[in-house]
Amino acid sequence: MDNKGNVFSRIIRREILADILYQDDLVTAFRDANPRTPVHILIVTNMIIPTVNNVTSENEIILGRLFTVAAKMAKKEKIDTLGYRLIVNCNQHGGQEIYHLHMHMLGGRPLGPMLVF
């Protein structure tokens, strides 16, 4: 699918209904339609950056905004004190399903170990 038509781009442009919690000129945050935890928010770059491998030094402000918005969302959702997890997947083996850079914010319950070795 053309990146201009990916689901995140369409949510950013408000062509698809989503529970948008935050939006500015760099990033958009919205609730995941299929939450894995009580709080599952996606924070996506408004600019289409397919994967972490496509990030350049010119994207540093956008990447910083992902984290400052994550902190704002955590406080708003009241998960900042007990904690939460931020996940960015990259490519097939990393579990990336939509090739538009995004961060998952997961919280609202104990999450346990990230990976079992």
CATH number, residue 36: 3.30.428.10
SS3 6: coil
Q: Is 115 within the bounds of a domain?
A: no
Report the DSSP beta bridge partners of residue 40: 106
SS3 69: helix
Torsion of CA 74, 76, 81, 85, to 10 degrees: -20
- List the catalytic residues: 102
The number of distinct structural domains making up the chain is: 1
Domain that holds residue 57: 3-107
Q: Is 87 within the bounds of a domain?
A: yes
* Residue that the structure tokens 């904690």 belong to: 83
Q: Is 92 within the bounds of a domain?
A: yes
CA–centroid distance for 70 within its chain: 9
Q: Is 112 within the bounds of a domain?
A: no
Q: Is 117 within the bounds of a domain?
A: no
* Residue that the structure tokens 């992902």 belong to: 66
Q: What pTM was computed for the model? A: 0.92
If you average pLDDT over residues 94-113, what whole number do you get?
96
Q: Is 93 within the bounds of a domain?
A: yes
pLDDT of residue 5: 78
pLDDT of residue 2: 46
- Note the pLDDT tens digit of each residue in 16-52: 999 999 999 999 999 999 999 999 999 999 999 999 9
